[in-house]
Amino acid sequence: MPRILHHSLLAITFAGCGSLVQAQEAVKDAATAPVYAIGAGAQRLPAWLGAKHQRTQALPFFDIELPGKAELSSVDGLTVDVLRGKHWHGGLYADIVWGRTRSDLGPQLAPVVKRINDRLVAGGYLEHEFNKTFTIGGRAIHELGGGGAYADLYADVTLPKVFTHVDHGLEFSARAANAASNRERFGLDPTQATQLNLTPWRPGASWQQAAVQYQIFVPTSEHTGIAANIEYSRLLGEPASSLLLKSFGQRNQISEGIAFVYHF
């Protein structure tokens, strides 16, 4: 699958913008009506998980929601609802996890460190909606075509509107990863360590990162608006102790994104 398609499916730095578009549609009884949104924008994010340097890229945006049934978006991947109660929601989940190309790694690491393809992940989710402004949840997912497995915890907070029409909110999240994921992304075998003049590192399972993200959606007309966000994340556990990270990367990661959105 072409890399740009992977990016369009994930669009990490637009995470949460879809929910803000959804909130804007609530004025039109979006609780029962389908939501369709398209757009385009740009994001700036770390070149690889743990990198010091960033890269900027253009991205398409799309969001198709069938309330109580399913959602397919460049923000949150594919969600299929199986459990849909008043407060408890759950079902199937699929998305893409980032990889890294040789150009992402740069001239010093590219000849030594493993290139990783973007990969499809699939699993399930369960969340509890306390009210219209606060939701907590979790996901358990596994890479298809890879050995990585992840457990995510998250909390979404919708903040009071600004100027009666601007939607914004916060998302808090944490991700744990199994040993296979941490070793592939942050480990160094003896050969790699020798080439980089470092000590071999074989990490185990642990927390991988925690993040907080601010999202905002500013309508520009009845059907259009601008979505933007900024995210701060910090690597934890075994990744934070990686000599690869300490020598060539950093624990603190910043991502930003902005998109122009048209919703039907």
**Can you give the CATH number for the domain in which 26 is found?**
2.40.230
Question: Looking at residue 16, what is its pLDDT?
Answer: 45
Question: Looking at residue 123, what is its pLDDT?
Answer: 98
Q: What is the pLDDT of residues 11-58, one digit of tens each?
A: 433 444 454 555 455 444 546 789 899 999 999 999 999 999 999 988
Q: What is the pLDDT of residues 77-106, one digit of tens each?
A: 999 999 989 999 999 999 999 899 999 999
Element (H, E) at 243: helix 243-248
**Statement: residue 147 has pLDDT above 90:** yes
Helix ranges, 162-232 (H): 179-186, 190-196
Residue 246 CB neighbours (<10 A)? 14
Full-model pTM: 0.85
Tokens encoding 107: 């001239």
Report the C-alpha gap between 249 and 220 in whole angstroms: 39
**Statement: residue 159 has pLDDT above 90:** yes
Question: Phi/psi at 131 (nearest 5 deg)?
Answer: -160, -170
Question: Looking at residue 29, what is its pLDDT?
Answer: 52
Bigger pLDDT: 59 vs 19:
59
Residue whose pair of structure tokens reads 């122009």 in the numeric block: 260
Within its chain, how far is the Cα of 100 from the centroid?
15
> ∠172-143-173 over CA atoms, to 5°?
5
Number of domains in the chain: 1
C-alpha atoms less than 13 angstroms from C-alpha of 132 in its C-beta half-sphere: 8
Q: What is the pLDDT of residues 168-213, one digit of tens each?
A: 999 999 999 999 999 999 999 999 999 999 999 999 999 999 999 9
Report the C-alpha gap between 177 and 37 in whole angstroms: 32
Question: Looking at residue 31, what is its pLDDT?
Answer: 61
Q: Give the range of the structural domain holding residue 161, as residue numbers without chain letter.
A: 3-263
